[in-house]
Amino acid sequence: MRQGAAPRAALALAGLLLGALVLSPYLVMLLAAVKPAGELRISPPRLTPIDWQWGHFADVMRDPDFLTWLRVSLVVAAASTALVLLAAVPAAYYTARHRFRGRTAFLFLVLVTQMFSPTALVVGLHREFFELDLINTYLALVLTNAAFNLAFAVWILRAFFASIPREIEEAAAVDGCGRLRVLWQIVLPVSRPGLVTALIFSFIAAWNEYIVALTLMTDPDKKPLTVGITSYVTAYVQHWNSLFAASLIAIVPVVALFALIERHLVAGLTAGSVK
């Protein structure tokens, strides 16, 4: 036990150092958010504030523009995530259970779509949505985010569906269940960790998307949170404390969602690793 104590202590220390490194930017943001505007201009800069002003968070939460951006982000992220799952579940299930001509090419094509950066596609997307008269519409953001996240959801759900024994479905079919009923009542409940994994990654990707939203949404009332909060700091107005306070508030929904389903997420990521 003494021989194993040192490696465990070293591993724990490394974990603590890594955690501190990851959390350090958020700590800096928090300290800047509670500083008065005058202290942000002190030279040389001071890490901790002299006068702690926690009211900046309340001011941001009372800002009608911030509440509008928050609502837009919630609507877009939730709708695009629902669309991803609605399209990925049947596609992943069919490719996992059926061998058909062109299946490998289809899966490879789905994987290739993940290799394109949104920045490289943004001009074409803007032109396409302009022709469809969808600029400044929620539908444009929902469709774009769903398209970007669909490939990941199909691949992870296909791997999870393939790991489910066929005998479970065959037993349900013998009892009179049709294909859709088997998928809804048998496969999906068993596949809950995989569904949760696809859900959380799709939601986070849609919540954090910036480039496409910046290009397609020019109406201030329709901008998502990632684009809207940049208006706190412009060439003429610099409210750094409001920007940092808004940024910290913006990560709360994602952190809360992750905390609620973290157990299922870990199970989904490790699914299929042990037979």
Strand partners, 238: 233
Q: What are phi and psi of 181, to 5 degrees?
A: -70, -35
Is the distance from CB of 241 to CB of 33 less than 8 angstroms? yes
pLDDT at position 274 is 42
Taking CB atoms within 8 Å and a gap of at least 24, the contacts of 40-47 are: 40/240, 40/241
Collapsing DSSP to helix, strand or coil, 263 comes out as helix
Question: Is the pLDDT at 243 greater than 50, yes or no?
Answer: yes
pLDDT higher for 118 or 35?
35
pLDDT at position 273 is 42
pLDDT at position 264 is 64
Question: Is the pLDDT at 124 greater than 60, yes or no?
Answer: yes
Q: What are phi and psi of 244, to 5 degrees?
A: -70, -40
Residue 168, amino acid: I
Question: Is the pLDDT at 271 greater than 70, yes or no?
Answer: no
Q: What percent of the chain has pLDDT over 90?
A: 25
Q: What are phi and psi of 238, to 5 degrees?
A: -130, 100
Is the distance from CB of 33 to CB of 248 less than 8 angstroms? yes
pLDDT tens digits along 127-154: 989 999 989 999 999 999 998 898 889 8
Q: What percent of the chain has pLDDT over 70?
A: 93
Q: How far apart are CA 169 and CA 175, in angstroms?
A: 10
Question: Is the pLDDT at 225 greater than 70, yes or no?
Answer: yes
Question: Is the pLDDT at 121 greater than 80, yes or no?
Answer: yes
Of the ranges 47-51, 52-56, 177-181, the best mean pLDDT one = 52-56
Which residue, among 230, 229, 227, has the nearest Cα to 214 in the 3D structure? 227
pLDDT higher for 275 or 183?
183
Average pLDDT on 55-77 reads: 91
pLDDT tens digits along 178-218: 777 777 777 888 888 888 888 888 999 999 999 999 999 98
Give the domains, in start order, of the chain with CATH numbers: 55-269 (1.10.3720.10)
pLDDT at position 105 is 80
Average pLDDT on 25-50 reads: 84
Q: Which two tokens mark 186? A: 């048998």
User: What's the chain's length in residues?
Assistant: 275
